[in-house]
Amino acid sequence: MTINRRDVLIGAGTAAAGLAVSGCATDATPGTATPNNWQLTTDVIVIGSGAAGLPAAIVAREAGLSVIVVEAQNHIGGHAITSGGNVPLGGGHSIQKKWGVQDSPDLVFQDLTDWSVVEPNGFPDYRYNDREIIRAFADHNVATCEFLIAHGVVFVDKAPDAQGGWSVGNSVPRELHCAPMDWPLVQTGQPAEPSQRATTSSGNGLMHPLAAAARKAGVDILLNHRMTAIHRQGAAGAVIGITANNNGKPVNIRARRAVIIATGGATGNVNFRRMFDPRLTEEYCGIAGMPWSDQDASGEIAGMAVGASLWGLYNQSGEFGSHITKPGTIGNQYGYANLRWSPGSEVFDLARAIGLRVANWQDVITVNMLGKRFYDETGRQFSANNYNSIDPYIPNSYLNARNIKYDPNNYLNAAMAGIGDGHNGGGPIWAIFDQDAVMREKWDPTPPNVDIDAGFFFSANTLGELAQRIQMKYQRVPMPPENLEATVARYNSFVDSGKDEDFDKPKPLYKIATPPFYAAWATPVLHDTRAGLRINAKCQVMDMNGAVIAGLYCAGESAGGFSMHGLARATCQGFIAGTNAATEPQRG
């Protein structure tokens, strides 16, 4: 039976929110045959309604084309709406000029291709960036910033700074911050406090205005439509459409001009992410942005199925930036530092807990599955370059690396090292603490602050009993009670002596001695995707031979060749992709 447009739109509003939050798999199906019939036809299809997808859709629609956005979830915004709302755009736009910041496209390009910038652990931020992609980004920064302002995004009224940016350039401040204003926060279901609406930074301040602008422009947004295949006209022809799954029903949508992949990356797909790092097995389940959206690699997989190449893979495995982080909250599955779910959120039934924010890592020790410490708990995660990180800074000079003080920043590597039993994954990491730590941190270790039912938080009156209670799907071996007891006893002796003889933690301060005792999930969190499909300066997808796949574009975290974290890359590439897709010839 033919599905008409009204049926599709009605179906979009009725599916369950939990359809796509497993964090492990995608139902994109390589090699599917081209449909014999199309239920819908449009000029441009955009896959994903995040920071890349909505700018692309608005630009194409305002160029006079019909646009359909397909979104897997029952809400818009993707990864971006849950973010901190930090947008590192530069090049000399109106906000930089207002605050006297001297910048240019050439300076943006120079910063983001400087081979000499390295982190304290020796890893380079910019050395493996694709120069063609960076040149296009640099040349479109100003236009993207003005586009966002023109379409309702309000930036906090202060000078550009260096807050919340990773690998965004050393020369001048570029970080802008999206004010949430009166929009509801997806984290809470309510607007921010009135005193904070124009002064705090939130991805809600980016995505709600863009969604409103897209709808005002006449973009059709089909919710609960999970793309399962991209279709190409023959083995070497143009891309002509997609298939999406809507409540179990396939919907074939024809694109007369272009398809734009803006699906948001791959960190939520276990098998895909392990191509970059075999250690990232199933227990790394606390993906940043989930359970609002999943980075399921569906765009990359569907693109590869029609011949696309991957690109810039080092940027995903290089030890710089925030593609993997220490948890900002413990005792809950979704512990990304910049995102806390509250009971008022529409996805709190999936998030299940708020989490306990760690103010001082001296208040806990972290242990592996065997109940053994593995590193100094106050150790840092990987760092990244930002404005004034290197001072003095000489562009493209060997002195930049020479002047960096070496610091391996190995907490994350130690956490992922595993227990020596031949498995690749590091396994669960548990924060161990006592009632005195609860009092110091002013925690309430009960639901909804912690997730007891799903096995991300345990408590007991003795350490031995605590070890025995740690049973959950990712704890593949029992924790020996004697191990945890010995670990805590040894650590307590370090508090007495004032020196950590094992990992050189700076003067251990507090014993773990007052029951009850607690074990809280503290496993590292996956965040950025920095490798994906190969694109050119126009954001056209390219195949293994370096040839353009006609009619196929990609932007944001699904695209490779670019080490920068976050929203500037996504919004700018969305702007570029939408602009160029609008010039595609009509096919058929």
Same domain, 259 and 336: no
Radius of gyration of the chain (CA): 24
Give the domain CATH number at 506: 3.90.700.10
| pLDDT at position 32 | 53
Of 521, 550, 573, the position where a domain reaches its end is 521
Coil vs helix vs strand at 404: coil
Cβ–Cβ < 8 Å for 333, 472 = no
Going from the C-alpha of 482 to that of each of 28, 321, 370, the distances in angstroms are 47, 37, 10
State CA 511 to chain mean position distance: 36
Residue 36 pLDDT: 84
Same domain, 220 and 366: no
What's the confidence (pLDDT) of residue 16?
32
Does residue 557 lie within any of the structural domains?
A: yes
Note whether 342 and 315 are same-domain residues. Answer: no
Full strand arrangement of the beta sheet holding 517-521: 365-367, 430-434, 517-521, 457-460
Angle of helix 131-150 relative to helix 567-581, nearest 10 degrees, comes to: 90
297: left (phi over 0), alpha (psi -120 to 50) or beta: left
Specify the 3-state DSSP secondary structure of 433. strand
Let me know: does 520 contact 437? Beta carbons within 8 Å: no
In a domain, 7, yes or no: yes
Residue 313's identity, in one-letter code, is L
Cα separation, 185 vs 165, in Å, equals: 22
pTM of the model: 0.94
SS3 category, 55 = helix
Q: 55 and 158 share a domain?
A: yes
Task: Take residue 528 and report the two structure tokens written for it.
Answer: 């950025």
The domain of 447 spans 327-378+430-521
E strand or H helix that includes residue 242: strand 239-246
Residue 26 lies in a domain: yes
3-state secondary structure 68-105: EEECCCCCCCHHHHCCCCEEECCCCCHHHHHCCCCCCH
Residue 371 lies in a domain: yes
Preceding amide of 516 cis, omega within 30: yes
What is the distance between the alpha carbons of residues 230 and 260, in angstroms, rounded to a whole number?
10
Count the domains in the chain.
2
Q: Are residues 508 and 536 in the same domain?
A: no
Q: Which residues of the chain have pLDDT under 70?
A: 1-33, 588
Length of the chain: 588
d(CA 113, CA 502): 40
Q: Does residue 414 lie in a domain region?
A: no
576 plus 532 within the same structural domain: yes
Are residues 258 and 312 both part of a single domain? Answer: yes
Distances (CA, A) of 467 to 392, 479, 514: 50, 5, 16
Residues 350 and 314 in one domain: no
pLDDT confidence of residue 588? 67
Element (H, E) at 31: none
Q: Which of 521, 536, 553 is the last residue of a domain?
A: 521
Residue 276, in any domain of the structure: yes
Domain end (from 487, 503, 521): 521
> First vs last Cα of the chain: how many Å apart?
23
pLDDT at residue 88 in the model: 98
The answer on 567 and 517 residing in a single domain is no
Structure tokens at 385: 């370059």
| Beta carbons within 8 Å of 97's beta carbon, 6+ residues apart | none
- Both 446 and 309 in one domain: the answer is no
- Give the span between the Cα atoms of 340 and 289, in whole angstroms: 10
CATH code (residue 163):
3.50.50.60
CA dist., res. 399 & res. 401, Å (int)? 5
Residue 420 falls inside a structural domain: no
C-alpha 555/C-alpha 138 separation (Å) is 15
Q: What is the pLDDT of residue 38?
A: 97
Q: Are residues 507 and 548 in the same domain?
A: no
Question: Cα separation of 562 and 568, whole Å?
Answer: 11
Check whether residue 244 and residue 271 sit in a common domain. yes
